[in-house]
Amino acid sequence: MNKFGIEGGYFSLNGKKVFLNSGEIHYFRIKRELWEEHLKKAKEAGLKTISSYVPWVWHEVNEGEFDFSGTTQPERDLIGWIELCQKHGFTCIVKPGPFILAEYRGAGLPDWFLEKYGDTIKMHNSKGEAVLSDGVSLFNPVFLSKVEQWYNHVMPIISQKQVQNGGPIIMMQVCNEIGVFSWLAHQADYNEQVKEQFISFIKTRYSTIDELNTLWESNYTSFQEIELPPDGNTPYKSKGDRSRDYEWHCFWRKYYANYLRLLSSWIRKHNISIPLYHNLPGWIYGHGYEFPLNITMYEDLYEDKSELIFGVDHIPEFVSYRNLHDDRIINDIVSAMQGEKPLFAAEFQSGSREYHVVTNPREMELFYKASIANGLKGWNYYMFSQGKNPPAKGYSGDTFYWFTPLDNQAKPSSAFPVVQKMSRFIETHEELILTTKRKAEVCVLFYSPYYATELERPEVGASELKFVPARIRRSAYFDGLLKALQVLNVDYDMVDLASSSVNDLLAYKQVWLFSTDEMNAPDQQTIASFVTNGGNLVIFPYLPDREMNQKPCTVLRDTFKIKSSQPEIIDSPLIKLYNLTDIKCSNPLIAYTTEGIDGATPIAFTLRGSICGFEKNVGKGKVVHLGTWLGFDTEGHLQAYTTILERSKAQLANASSTNNFITVRQKFNDTSESLLFVGNYYNENQSGKITYKHPKTNERVQLPLIDGEIEIPPLYAFISPISKEIGKGINILHTTSDVIGINSNNNIITIHLTGDPGLIGEMVLEGINISKIKSAEISEKPIMLIWHNNRIVLNYLHSNKEIVLTLKMLDK
């Protein structure tokens, strides 16, 4: 019996760790007679898995009339599609909704259902009006009844065809992006079931109505009198108003979780045992800064609270220096929140859903390699095959996706060779990709309440906040601190503050915390205990003075013995920080008196000479506080971040570059091997010297090894195995080529390579048996063996085609 599962943060097939290399092909958008041709091309591209939605609207043609065998239309033959995938050696991922979205009109819900029940099941606003959206009230009994009937028909097929029963289906998506409707419309659902559930939720949060009234500044006599917060753009009226809104956001996190738990329980009743996942959106026209908001919607399902894993939508649309940091941050946040579950890109861009957004295969290849460096354990090319919508079903007309590796007739595009290349790269280095991890001595904390804002209303001062997280989190945190760390090539880990322990944080030599006025007491206590027990903390731009529900809380201020602070507004503010002058910052600046910081050492001053930052020993540890935020707008900001980082004595990077426009990253496994990513996100050549750590000896190794600098072409990256054995006693130390195949036989080692023609090829070999290498050839032409400190250096030219390096050994 075959088995597919999740073990220790990896996907596993029959007990072996695997990288999930999948492509999305929609059988319902491709003519039946072309199915086989698409699958043949997918096999040629090196894919192992095929993913598809299973649209409810497509298979329940009329109410109560189901077609899974193609009786009414050949393209409805779901059973035939699954069996054809298996015939061609593929495993399958199925996504039976009920919501599929996928630019399908009605988001996958049947037309007859929406026509008959639409007014009843739609989301409604606070005025009782149906919202113009594909979203529905998820716990509406009519909706749930019809979903359960849909599941009762489709799940037996999936159960029969799952891998444990001899079929190809290895994984299933549970619904799709359910929080997206409220997020995009900035609109909650105000149906009666929602109000009832909200009141029940609040009863679990407050022991008495008086306790609630104190925080909400209300005068309810019972919980049943509770009113829902207003929707739209009504500004907050008071702290109490904001307190209620915080609970409103917390409720939705429980609401979505309960909905997905319900669907999961229905699935499991059909004896389906394959892994389940839910998909998360977040990229907005090339940027991922809103993704953290989307994952916080599901925080009630994090870690061991649910069996679900989260699939990430990685749809950057373009790749450049402007967004070089986004995918890493998204991956890091997902890993921090979901715990020991594999990082999977469920929608991994290989085409464009909008015709005016023309994807570039070169940019996509850079993105794919960066995603490996940033920890993905699997991906699903979305879309691998273009589709044609059934009449009047496509949100964008008759065509679904453009610039895909295959068009709807199964003809390859310029994106096809990139998928082929990445498949061969994964196959060659699968274990190394899966087992290597980042080594970091610096940690950045993620605090999910700062992103619980999909329904947040305007803050005009009534809540008396110095810093509103939603206003500054992108500039101060996402595109500020985190981008600067990326540009500086700092190795850091992302940790979820709310689920971390003091011991977790003490493993790092420096911890950074973006903090505003609000932070819950347990989380303040974790940070306070971390510092007093020897931790090194950098916190900006504020020391919180209340919890998220607006209850006063000064745990951190009390621990650090900070007595008072005042905001200071300065036009075009600049600060002096340590020995740096005229560092751009932002208003308000939080000013302290000497007495107010109780013996701390001032480290930052405003243009008026006020103290706006200090360094202080607290217990066994130290806190560095900056009462403003810097962002990342100038080279002075890089100097400022570097100055603070270097005071930690932490090792900031395992791999580094003499040029900040060259991004480098190194990951290690437990068997003295590593992977080195070297990339240029800039749109012109960049030159520099790369230094990395030898995974066995800790030697600092340079690339190029001997002299000079490496010149990286625009929008290009390579991933080199470090200290990878290719023959007995012969290792690749590093290479500037992508190694996509290794064969060793009869004293001959052949290595299949690709690389950009603008990048000089260098491969360095080491090991106890390299003296047995007699000669080397590139595509049957001899190249020189250059000996350097008991290593062999091979230099060669890349071309637009694959090249083959042949090493011939001395006869035994």
Across-strand partners of 754? Answer: 738
What is the amino acid identity at position 625?
A: H
Short-list 567, 638, 628, 565, CA closest to 600: 565
Helices 141-161, 111-121: axis angle to 10 degrees equals 140
**Which tokens belong to 798?**
């890349």
Residue 6, strand partner residues = 11
177 catalytically annotated: yes
Cα–Cα dist 476/470, whole Å: 11
Q: Using CA atoms, how far apart are residues 645 and 803, in angstroms rounded to an integer?
A: 43
**Per-residue DSSP letter, 769:** T
Contact criterion met (CB below 8 Å) for 659 and 568: no
Q: Judging by beta carbons within 10 Å of its beta carbon (0-12, 13-18, 19+), is residue 725 exposed, middle or buried?
A: middle
Q: What is the DSSP string of 4-31?
A: EEEETTEEEETTEEE-EEEEE--GGGS-
Catalytic residue among 75, 177, 365, 615: 177
DSSP per-residue letters across 481-501: IHHHHHHTT--EEEEEGGG--
Q: Is 699 a catalytic residue?
A: no
Tell how far CA 638 is from the center of its chain: 24
Strand 803-809 and strand 748-754: the pairing is antiparallel
Selected catalytic residue, list 103, 247, 299, 347 = 347
Output b/e per residue, 772-802; b: 16+ Cβ within 10 A.
bbeebebeeeebeeeeeeebbbbbbebeeeb
In DSSP notation, 165-183 reads GTSSEEEEE-S--TTHHHH
The phi-psi region of residue 596 (left if phi > 0; otherwise alpha if psi is between -120 and 50; otherwise beta) is: alpha
Residue among 501, 502, 545, 485 nearest 521 (CA): 545
Cα-to-chain-centroid distance, residue 551: 33
Distance between CA 689 and CA 702 in Å, rounded? 7
Closest alpha carbon to 194 in 149, 131, 238: 131
Residue 230 is which amino acid? Answer: P
CA distances from 663 to 185, 366, 476, 659 (A): 37, 11, 21, 8
**3-state SS of 518-566?**
ECCHHHHHHHHHHHHCCCEEEEEECCCCECCCCCECCHHHHHHCCCCCE
Q: Are 712 and 664 in contact (CB under 8 A)?
A: no
Give catalytic residues, as residue numbers. Answer: 177, 347
